[in-house]
């Protein structure tokens, strides 16, 4: 559940990118949930035409999903509802990180200055900036005034298509979801799901919004279907060159050519967008690999990245990674021995199995993600409460059990009074929990305080703090941008330096945000 600061941050991002009117419509959806056009007009007090334009902008940039559902009290009539996609809005502040994946060599050859690397960079940048584009629009953006001859344009278009298909094949770019899927709401009298024997929790039905996202998502084969080589050229020509054949042969060839042209035109009208799931998967790999390097060494980080790259199901929420041994080796440079790779796989606690005489390794990312989160939390605790607070928090984090106040003071070599005061500070700020139990052999009112670290509420508390800090940084950056048009040229250098520092701080803070929200 997204808190107040998260929604305010999303509104501020939309306001910075698209203006206050679009932000007002988006904020209405964030605060009130899924609404119809009529309801948005009523809640915002804006003219209907303005609301429509704002919704079109938000849909164009993948921040809103529309879907249809039967109107209440009517079977034949439908109503179009609009829902804000919070995660996609937050992803807008990560565009520079997504583009750095190309410069870092993840989407391109090791030399990111190659023509192929520059081409992929330009294609991904165009899609990120414009939200949704056809391939033809991408081609028009990239063709310069010097490339006016048909021969040069055709060659350039062919190179762009090859780079674009590579992005599609690697799942960095995908076809846009269905614009307005139809959703049948669940009957109100449907029985609630029951908890099955052996199951920890009852299966919860999907919400209307989750059903809409699921219905809008294309099948995997269609979602990442590449552009055929001849599609763009044939659609661009728009002319069918019939052969001089006669009779049935001519009819057959004419029909085939017409069908090819229709397919080409259809391909040319397909809208494409960036696949945030894959891009976030790459960022998660980089963050986790850095943690593995710090704990197990550089070679372990290299092997970890190879496992993540060889994983067939690259889903951002999946915590179990499965890769074949041959796939892992293919992603290594070849400088490591087989025994060395196997040793590192054991250090990473990978489980091995054999399928059709092929070695398969599975890696549970939960331990690595928990280690990353612990590092972030401990850094916050040390900065906020000093060494004493850090020692107490680390003790509770390591033991993961209830510990009495006197025992904590003894282990951390602190005075009992100081330990008691620090424990209450941590408890007051919701970093730890307290449990009071009656003291044996004492009066009825006597009790002992036991302390423990509860991770789930702690993660939510820290996430709210991160959203709050990100909101403050975003607002401050926006204020500096507005001042750029007002200050003198002599003060511009100092202002740009302050803005650059704030932007770097926001990018660093976003690493923590991804850990506790996206991963």
Spell out the residues 6+ positions from residue 106 whose beta carbon is closer than 8 angstroms to its own: 282
8 Å CB contact between 463 and 430: no
Residue 146 pLDDT more than 50? no
Q: What's phi and psi for 345, nearest 5 deg?
A: -60, -35
Question: CB neighbours (10 Å) of residue 173?
Answer: 24
Question: Hey, is 209 helix, strand or coil?
Answer: helix
pLDDT score of 440: 67
Q: Higher-confidence residue: 114 or 136?
A: 136
pTM of the model as a whole:
0.82
pLDDT score of 416: 87
- What's the pLDDT tens digit per position in 326-342? 888 888 876 788 888 89
pLDDT score of 245: 44
pLDDT score of 18: 94
- Give the mean pLDDT of 201-207: 66
Query: Pick from 320, 434, 419, 416: which is nearest to 368 by CA?
Result: 320
- What's the pLDDT tens digit per position in 25-54? 999 999 999 999 999 999 999 999 999 999
- Give the mean pLDDT of 281-303: 91
**Band (266; pLDDT cuts 50, 70, 90):** low
pLDDT score of 239: 37
Spell out the residues 6+ positions from residue 266 whose beta carbon is closer than 8 angstroms to its own: none
Residues of 226-238 as b/e, b for ≥16 C-beta within 10 angstroms?
ebeeebbebbbee
Number of DSSP helices (H) and strands (E) in the chain, helices first:
22, 11
Q: Higher-confidence residue: 195 or 338?
A: 338
Most confident of 62-71, 242-251, 332-341: 62-71
8 Å CB contact between 498 and 466: no
pLDDT score of 244: 40
């Amino acid at each position: 559940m997204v808190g107040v600061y998260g929604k305010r941050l999303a509104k501020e991002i939309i306001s910075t990118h698209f203006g206050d009117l679009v932000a007002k419509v988006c904020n209405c959806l964030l605060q009130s949930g899924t609404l119809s056009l009529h309801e948005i007009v009523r809640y915002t007090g804006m003219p209907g035409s303005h609301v429509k334009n704002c919704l079109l902008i938000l849909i164009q940039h993948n921040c809103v999903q529309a879907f249809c559902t039967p109107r209440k009290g009517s079977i034949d009539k439908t109503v179009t509802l609009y829902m804000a996609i919070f995660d996609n809005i937050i992803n807008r502040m990560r565009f520079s990180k997504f583009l750095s994946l190309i410069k870092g060599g993840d989407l391109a050859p090791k030399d990111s200055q190659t023509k192929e690397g520059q081409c992929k960079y330009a294609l991904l940048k165009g899609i990120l900036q414009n939200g949704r584009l056809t391939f033809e629009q991408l081609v028009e953006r990239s063709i310069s005034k010097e490339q006016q001859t048909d021969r040069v344009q055709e060659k350039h278009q062919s190179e762009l298509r090859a780079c674009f298909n590579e992005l599609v094949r690697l799942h960095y770019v995908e076809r846009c979801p269905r614009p307005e899927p139809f959703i049948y709401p669940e009957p109100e009298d449907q029985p609630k799901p029951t908890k099955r024997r052996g199951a920890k929790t009852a299966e919860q039905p999907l919400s209307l919004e989750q059903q809409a996202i699921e219905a809008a998502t294309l099948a995997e084969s269609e979602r990442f279907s590449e552009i055929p080589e001849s599609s763009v050229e044939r659609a661009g020509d728009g002319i069918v060159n019939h052969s001089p054949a006669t009779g049935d042969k001519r009819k057959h060839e004419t029909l085939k050519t017409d069908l090819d042209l229709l397919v080409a035109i259809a391909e040319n009208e397909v809208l494409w967008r960036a696949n945030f799931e894959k891009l976030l998967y790459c960022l998660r790999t980089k963050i986790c690999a850095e943690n593995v390097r710090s704990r197990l060494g550089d070679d372990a980080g290299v092997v970890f990245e190879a496992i993540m790259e060889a994983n067939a199901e690259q889903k951002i929420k999946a915590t179990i990674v499965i890769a074949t041994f041959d796939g892992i080796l293919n992603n290594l440079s070849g400088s490591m021995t087989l025994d060395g790779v196997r040793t590192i796989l054991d250090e990473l606690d990978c489980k091995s199995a054999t399928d059709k005489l092929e070695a398969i390794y599975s890696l549970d990312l939960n331990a690595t993600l928990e280690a990353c989160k612990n590092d972030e939390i401990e850094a916050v605790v040390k900065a906020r409460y000093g060494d004493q607070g850090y020692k107490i928090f680390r003790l509770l984090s390591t033991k993961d059990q209830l510990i009495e106040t006197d025992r904590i003071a003894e282990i951390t070599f602190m005075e009992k009074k100081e330990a008691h005061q620090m424990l209450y500070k941590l408890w007051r700020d919701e970093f730890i929990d307290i449990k009071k139990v009656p003291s044996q052999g004492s009066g009825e009112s006597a009790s002992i305080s036991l302390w423990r670290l509860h991770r789930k509420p702690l993660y939510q508390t820290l996430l709210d703090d991160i959203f709050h800090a990100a909101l403050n940084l975003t607002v401050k950056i926006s204020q500096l941008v507005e001042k750029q048009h007002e200050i003198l040229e002599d003060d511009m250098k100092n202002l740009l330096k302050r803005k650059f520092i704030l932007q770097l701080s926001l990018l660093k803070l976003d690493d923590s945000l991804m850990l506790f929200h996206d991963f």
